[in-house]
Structure 1
Amino acid sequence: MDSELYRAITDFAHDTPSWVQHVMEVWTELGLLLFAVLFLVAWGRARHGDPRALAVAVLAPLGTAVAYVCSELVKSGFDEERPCRAVSGALPSLVACPPHGDWSFPSNHSTIAAAAAVGLALAWPTIGWLTVPMAILMAFSRVYVGVHYPHDVATGLLLGTVVALLFVRLAARPAERVAEAMRGSGNGLARRLAGPGGGAVAGQRAAYGSRPRRGAHRR
């Protein structure tokens, strides 16, 4: 059943215009870089938020790394050959088929994409409308270019989601305390990394606003 769905998707891929194939080939290899850029943007935004927001923004990429390690551990227990080599009658993959020993189950790309999408959505809720479709497109692209079965990417999406949610949930409180400590630290680098925080900015504005403006006492 999964092999039939794989053949159907790869047949569809070969029927799509060449520019669509090119876009998907680029996305399947470089799409994860966009998640990395969004991690940096989320951290930059969180530097001006409360310690909890900063903690979650920092935990998002860390949770993604943990999800990748979990995917590799699972992969080491399943010697599943890549469909581009194992499925008879399938059209050639659009990208080079990974070598024997680079097993198929689960999809690391899908795991990383799902963990990144969930982590970013937790750190920056309004970005979820973008990151979740990005992760789904990443998973689909792995089957589209011919290097994964559908069940590989479905498992990767589930694994990345679960790991990211659990990691952020378990580590948020300790990370929040670290963020508070960094903001109150005497180390300049730590304060720059942690940012001023929303409270600090509001306090500065309040203090500035409470000062009498120059010449305000003159009539």
Structure 2
Amino acid sequence: MAGLEAQMSSGSNPDVSLLYDINGLTDDTPGWFDRVMEFVGEYGILLGLVLVVLWCWWGARKRETLDDAASSVAAVVWAPLAAAVAVLVNVPIRSFVERPRPFKDHDGLTVLVTGKNDFSFVSDHATMAMALGAAVFVANRKLGFVGLGLAVLEGFCRVFMGVHYPTDVIGGFALGTAVALLLSPLASALLTPVARAIGRTGKLSRLVWSPTAAASASGAVGLPGARESAEPAEERDLAA
């Protein structure tokens, strides 16, 4: 009842109304579900996105040539870097806007996570999640849809948990996407030569390129020249 009264007092503000609608779902959920959502929204989805990035990296190594593998791995490496850059960009935004957490200004909310005393806009979790999802989408379309889906779920969880307004999440989505996409060409130009250089080394080369896996993939579809493209880079250099 307190939540309903608070929602009515919010007037025509759609941001606050949607906050109460989503957070109000906790009134009908069991305690164990709220605890699961607390873990998923705070840690679980970000962990899932890290696993998606690792999965994407594992596949990027299996390109037919070192050049293709280096550019693909560079795109994957940009994903966590994009998330870090986006969060750094958010630091001055939060300090400038200084928006309090919703439960500090509105009564009747069910808050599933305690200790959130910093500012609310923009959501760090939504920013990181969408930056990871958008960057993975650039590297791998199929896995990118998985990443974007997880990012949207992260945004829903933050509102469901009562720690963010919907506009906090939307702002995080916009910031994460902007950083991941706008800086992607620059990141590729800087990271691809580094990845190519690592691919030509001895022990660390498999971080960038897996010739055995590339040869197996090429042989499975009967592509000509599979053996030449799968030669270790150092052997090709010696032959030259």
Tell me if TM exceeds 0.5.
yes
Secondary structure of 1:38's aligned partner: helix
Q: 1:38: which partner in 2?
A: 52
1:177 CA drift (Å): 1.9
Q: List aligned pairs for 1:187-198, cutoff 5 A.
A: 188-196=202-210
Contact 2:79/2:135 (CA < 8 Å) preserved in 1? Answer: yes
1:90 aligns with 2:72: no
Letter in 2 for 1:145: M
Structure 2 CA distance for aligned equivalents of residues 190 and 73 of structure 1: 38
Aligned residues: 203
Structure 1 CA distance for aligned equivalents of residues 25 and 81 of structure 2: 36
Letter in 1 for 2:207: L
Q: 2:38: which partner in 1?
A: 25
Unpaired runs of 5+ in structure 1? 208-219
1:161 aligns with 2:177: yes
Q: List aligned pairs for 1:109-188, cutoff 5 A.
A: 109-185=125-201, 188=202
Aligned with 1:206 (options 227, 230, 236): 227
Structure 2 CA distance for aligned equivalents of residues 168 and 197 of structure 1: 26
Letter in 2 for 1:178: V
1:97 CA drift (Å): 4.9
Letter in 1 for 2:24: D
Distance 1:74 1:56, change over 3 A: same
Q: CA RMSD in A?
A: 2.4
Contact 1:97/1:147 (CA < 8 Å) preserved in 2? Answer: no
Secondary structure of 1:77's aligned partner: helix
Aligned with 2:61 (options 47, 59, 62): 47
Structure 1 CA distance for aligned equivalents of residues 28 and 90 of structure 2: 32
Structure 2 CA distance for aligned equivalents of residues 47 and 93 of structure 1: 43
Letter in 1 for 2:159: V
Q: 1:213: which partner in 2?
A: none
Moved more, 6-15 or 152-161: 6-15
1:196 CA drift (Å): 3.5
Deviations 1:91-130 (A, max 9, x none): 331221512xx11010000000000111111112111232
| Divergent runs of 4+, >4 A | 197-200, 202-205
Distance 1:119 1:53, change over 3 A: same
Q: Normalising to structure 1: TM-score of the pair?
A: 0.83
Structure 2 CA distance for aligned equivalents of residues 80 and 143 of structure 1: 15
1:5 CA drift (Å): 2.1
1:153 CA drift (Å): 0.5
Moved more, 189-198 or 60-69: 189-198
Aligned with 1:104 (options 105, 120, 129): 120
Structure 2 CA distance for aligned equivalents of residues 181 and 155 of structure 1: 37
Unpaired runs of 5+ in structure 2? 1-12, 219-223, 229-240
Structure 1 CA distance for aligned equivalents of residues 163 and 188 of structure 2: 36
Structure 1 CA distance for aligned equivalents of residues 87 and 17 of structure 2: 28
